[in-house]
Amino acid sequence: CMHFTCHQCKYEFCCGCGKAFMMGAKCSTSPFCAKLGLHAHHPRNCLFYLRDKEPVQLQELLKENNVEFDVENPSGERRCKVQLQKETPTGVIDAICNSEVLENQAGLC
């Protein structure tokens, strides 16, 4: 998920582009927004649009556009070390993903 909330001011935003997330009725972008739930108006270059793609699809996109990227696991670890936020009964906490690492994905899940 790319929906983040500032712990200090409670501003809800997309971590990919910084655009505000808001409930439909509170959004003044268009009358249609009133029919939507929690949403944001991401620009076309926001990572939001890539979040659900499979790693193989993302690698193909990078290859097609001549973008260099790593596939080797630099540390040899078998668990993903990406930091993320996890929801708990007492609130959101910072944590490590810790999912199993797959081959040819640079040590990421």
Tens digit of each residue's pLDDT (9 = 90 or more) over 74-95: 888 899 888 888 888 988 889 9
> What pLDDT is attached to residue 45?
77
Residues 93-102 have pLDDT tens digits of 899 999 998 8
Q: Tell me the catalytic residues.
A: 1
d(CA 91, CA 83): 16
Amino acid at 59: Q
Q: What percentage of the chain reaches a pLDDT higher than 90?
A: 35
> What pLDDT is attached to residue 55?
86
d(CA 40, CA 85): 19
Instruction: Write out the H or E segment, with its range, that includes residue 57.
Output: helix 55-64
Residues 42-64 have pLDDT tens digits of 988 788 878 788 888 999 999 99
> What pLDDT is attached to residue 77?
84
**The token pair that represents 43 in the structure block:** 């620009």
Contact 65, 58 (CB under 8 A): no
pTM comes to 0.56
> Domain limits of the chain?
3-52
Q: Interior CA angle at 74 toward 109 and 66, to 5°?
A: 80
